[in-house]
Each structure stands twice: as structure tokens, then as C-alpha cells.
Amino acid sequence: MPRQLTRRQFSFASATAVGGAAVLGPGALPWIKRADSGRSRRNSLGIALVGLGSYSAGQLAPALEETEQCHLAGIVTGTPAKADSWLAQYPHLEGHVYDYGNFDSIADDDAIDVVYVVLPNSMHAEYTMRAAAAGKHVICEKPMAVTAAEAQTMIDACEAAGRSLHIGYRLHFEPHNVEAMRISRERDFGRITYAQTEFGFRLGGSADQWRLKKSLAGGGALMDVGIYAIQAARYVIGEEPVSVTAQEVKTDPVRFAEVDETITWQLRFPNNCIASSQTSYALRSERLFAAGNSGWLELRPAFVYGGIAGKTSRGPMDLPQVNQQAKHMDGVASAILAGKTLSIDGHEGLRDMRVIDAIYESIRTGQAATI
């Protein structure tokens, strides 16, 4: 296993990444190869995690211990110490550890079917396209890119390679958010006429972290957690927005010199519905609210990994808590095994990127931007 890293690879060594559609039933394809994870499994796809930051270590790897349709089959890291630590915890990964220099040789690893890109945003496009060229299906964390144009190149690369591209939209498998989608789709409360979505938190940590560097993050709170507010507005209204007006505020312009801190925006939809949204690195806020002609729904908290709660004008949502990451990865694996593509594909990610591009344009011009 090569250990020699280039200077460029070392520059990314400390980077970490934070971050559904119904899950299909177990497949019936016993010929699918799998690594020995210490448990007896069948019909399971091998997933390689690219980037071993906190999301991979704290969420994805543990979730892969609960999945039925996929399993941890490889890792990619620029930090030898991390590789050693992961091998100690997951010894079955021996022989399936890669760095950013030899990443393309993953093409020869039959144990790996899917590459999950969990890197800083600016690296998503490169490793998605390299994974597709290596013949692997791809899951890419959100936001899928730093611009809509870049997202389109990722879609084109995966389509040219005949590989699927799905985005890390775990909430499409979370029962409360799925129920919000259903309420909108089936018009339980009539046509949705107003929505409010917001997600923000206080960003701590050092001043040199990747989230504060535009070259790695591409943007600030909007790309990190604001994308959840964009997604929620789109799926609870059930239409695509046509324009947006946005405003930016920085309470700490020194710390957030390169990226956005707090943004509010208003999305206008074809049916004249308005969604008012907010994201921030300076304050904690988390809510999904939607009102229709004959009722309303609210999720609070709405987007976190666990403990999501909801209610409607008819009463509380009595729904279970699930491992969102496990459901998400199982859903993607099941779709691949069945030869299907979920609604959380690259085109869904592209739609969010178009909104993000328009929000930044509105902030630059001070005018409404067409989406």
C-alpha cells in the first residue's frame, strides 16, 4: 500500500467533510461480490469512502455496520496514520486502502462497486469523475459541486461511463421529511401556499479550517447547511422555483472574509407560492414549516442526524427515528442492484446548484435572479 504523498496531497490531509425515495427490498443477485466484513451477507455492494473526516468516521462507517445492501469495502485517505487507525478497526480493508496519488488504481479492485466522495466541496467534481472513469458508481456528498456548471460536468462524466451518480440527500429516507413530501404531493392540506425553511449553527473551530477557505468550501453556510433549506422548500412545495431574491449579512467579516456567514432568501415558485429561508454560521436555527389551504405542517428540528420531530394542524407525527445514513446508502445500493436511479441523482443535485448560483447572483447584483 503506497504511503508516499505529494505536497499537494498533504495539503488536503486534514480536510474533513460534514454533511431517499423509498428503500427497495432486498435484491436477489447472489453473484454480487463483497469483502469479508466479519459477517455473513449476500447481495451487497462494496462501498469505498473517499475522505476519512468526521462524517465518514462518525456517521458513514458506523452506518455501514447496519446496512443490508452495501458494506464498507475500501478507504481513500491522504493521511497514513488514518489508514493505520482504520485498518486496526476494520481489518478486512487490508489491500483496499488508497491515497489520492494511486486513487485511479481502484479500477482494478473488484471488491469496490461504489465510491462515496466525502471530501471538501471543491474536490467533489474531480473525484466523482475519476471514480466514474474507474468504472465505479458514485455517491457524492452535498453540495455536489461548487457551481451548476461543474455539477453538469459530473453528470456528463458518469453518464459517459455508464455509472450512476447519487447525492448524499439522506433526508429523502428520513420518515418525517418523507411524510412532509407525501403531504405536499397528495395535497392533504390543499395546495402549499407558503413555506419557511432555515438551518444554521454557530461555527466554532480554528480559523484555518476548510469551511472558512473558499478554495476548498466553494462557499460558506449556504453550501454547507443552507442547501438543506433549499431542498426542503423544493420538496415541500413540489415545484421548481423560478426566481430568488437574497441578502447577505456578516457579523464577523474578519472570520468570514472568504465565505458567507448569514444569508436570507425568498424563493418564488410558478404557483406564486413563496418560500422564505435562512442559513447561518453565526446562529442556531432549524425549521421546516409549510402552510396549505386547509392546514399546515412543521418539523423542528428538521434536518439533524437524529431526534427529528414533526407535527401538523391535525396533531403530532408519530414516526420512528432511523439511521438516516444507513437508509440512504441501502437505498442507493438497492437501486443500483435493481438497475434503477433514485430521485436523489445528479440531476437533483444540479437543481440545487442552480438555486445556489442564483442566490449568490442576487447578492452580487442586489436584484432578483432568475433560476
Q: How high does pLDDT run on average in the chain?
A: 90
Q: Does 294 share its domain with 161?
A: no
Tell me, what's the pLDDT at 4? 30
Peptide bond into 80 cis (omega under 30): no
| Residue 315 clears pLDDT 60, i.e. is over it | yes
Phi and psi at residue 285, to the nearest 5°: -155, 140
pLDDT in tens, 18-51: 333 332 222 222 223 333 443 334 589 999 999 9
Place of cell 481489518: 91
**What is the predicted pLDDT for the residue at 27?**
26
Boundary (domain end) residue, out of 170, 205, 239: 170
Domain boundary among 170, 189, 215: 170
> What CATH code is carried by the domain that includes residue 308?
3.30.360.10
Q: Reply yes or no on whether the pLDDT at 9 is more than 50.
A: no
**Residue 165 shares a structural domain with residue 179:** no
pLDDT higher than 80, residue 8: no
pLDDT of residue 271: 84
Per-residue CA distances from 366 to 59, 233, 257, 277, 349 (Å) = 39, 22, 19, 17, 26
User: What integer pLDDT is reported at residue 225 of this predicted model?
Assistant: 98
List, for residues 194-239, the tens digit of each pLDDT value.
999 999 999 999 999 999 999 999 999 999 999 999 999 999 999 9
CA distance 46 to 34: 6
Q: Are residues 295 and 200 part of one domain?
A: yes
Could you tell me if 39 and 73 lie in one domain? yes
Within-domain flag for 267: yes
153 and 180 part of one domain:
no
pLDDT exceeds 50 at position 307: yes
- Specify if 329 maps to a domain: no
Same-domain pairing of 285 and 159: no
pLDDT tens track for 331-368: 999 999 999 989 999 999 999 999 999 999 999 999 99
* Total structural domains within the chain: 2
pLDDT in tens, 326-336: 999 999 999 99
Which residue range is the domain that position 62 belongs to?
7-170
Torsion, Cα 156 142 62 341, to 10 degrees, reads -40
Q: What is residue 156's predicted lDDT score, i.e. its pLDDT?
A: 98
Terminal alpha carbon distance of the chain: 47
Q: How many CB atoms lie within 10 A of CB 1?
A: 12
Q: What is the pTM assigned to this prediction?
A: 0.89
**What pLDDT score does 26 carry?**
25
Active site residues: 142, 228
pLDDT tens profile 106-128:
999 999 999 999 999 999 999 99
pLDDT value for 43: 84
> Within this chain, do residues 132 and 65 fall inside the same structural domain, yes or no?
yes
Who has greater pLDDT, 176 or 42?
Answer: 176
The CATH number assigned to the domain holding 143 equals 3.40.50.720
**56 and 109 assigned to the same domain:** yes
Residues 185, 142 share a domain: no
Q: Cα separation of 157 and 332, whole Å?
A: 19
Q: Report pLDDT for 42.
A: 55
**Model confidence over 236-285: pLDDT tens digits?**
999 999 999 999 999 999 999 999 999 999 999 998 899 999 999 999 99
* 235 found inside a domain: yes
* Whether the Cβ atoms of residue 154 and residue 163 lie closer than 8 Å to each other: no
